[in-house]
Every structure is written in structure tokens, then in C-alpha cells.
Amino acid sequence: MRLVSTLTAALLAATPAFAALAPGAKAPDFTTRGAIAGKVFTVHLADQLKKGPVVLYFFPAAYTGGCNAEAHAFAEAIPAFTKAGATVIGMSADNVETLSKFSAEKCAGKFAVASAGPNVIKGYDVALGKQVMGRDVTKRTSYVIDKTGRIAFVHDEMNPAAHVATTLAAVEKLTGK
């Protein structure tokens, strides 16, 4: 019995940590400023959910290699997300001025990016716990939120490669499109 307990403890220690918001949890509502195609506007999650599911993807910092690649990949996949009925919103701790430029340049003006303040970062459990360019950054975590405001899917992985494909598959499964 002791071997089983030791083995279980070892397996749990080796399991990667996941975002605190598990599927089925209520997504924290928020209002913040964001931009699309360089134009600043107010982003309110509840308003976005009225249109259908939302892919809320957190990224560490605009204008960094992985975040640039991920933004480009999401921009290329926007037609598929739209066909599946979902809205994509990128979120980071960057300021709105930076995100305004990033939205036009790296997101190709195809989806909104918004500034995640401390309450949003805490609510979605995405604090990375380190700084880039002298400021706190978020983990790379993607949430698919259904139109009722519940978390339907979570992808919590620092490597940006699979975020678009896994979140799109989750949206398609959720909407049947």
C-alpha cells in the first residue's frame, strides 16, 4: 500500500499544473480596453458572449517571438473560428497603446486584443510569475467559453504551436460546426 501511495504522489508531482478554471467553471466577467486593427474600444466579455462562444487566449507579451507567431496563426484561422460561430480575443498585460499597434501589425486587424489588468489575470489564474521587459506577464493559456459563460475547454501550455488547432477543435465540437 505504501508503494502505491509513493507512486501516486510521484505521478501527481510529475503532472503539469493546469489553469485554475476547469471546464464547467463560470468565466469571470470583465470590462477592459482593447483594440482591433489599431482602433481602441471597450471589451466586455458578457457582450461578446451574446454573439456566441468566445476564445479568450492569454499571451505573455506583444512583440515577442512566440506571441507574434501565435497572433499570426490565430489571424489566419479567424475564418474557421467565424464559421464555427466563435469570437477570438487575445489578452495580455500589455498596455492598450502597445496592443493597438500589435492588433494592426501582428494580428492583421482580424481579431481584438485586450489589456488584462490584475483582476482579470487573478480571476483567470494566468499570472506567469516572472517579468519580461520589466513588467509582469501572463501564462499562455487559451479558454473556450460557451455562450452561457462557462469554461468549455482549457489549453494551458507555454508552447504556442497547438493553441489555435486545439481551441478551434474545441469550438467546433461545442457548436457542432
* Residue 134, pLDDT score: 73
Angle at 138 (CA atoms; ends 154, 123), nearest 5 degrees: 65
pLDDT score recorded for residue 3: 36
Tell me if residue 71 falls in helix, strand or coil.
Answer: helix
β-strand partners of 127: 138
Name beta bridge partners: 143: 56, 154
Cell of 88: 477570438
pLDDT attached to residue 120:
95
Q: Is the pTM of this model over 0.75?
A: yes
Closest of 91, 89, 143, 151 to residue 115, by C-alpha: 91
Ordered mean pLDDT values, 10 residues apiece, the chain (177 residues)? 36 42 95 97 97 96 93 96 97 95 96 95 92 81 96 91 92 94
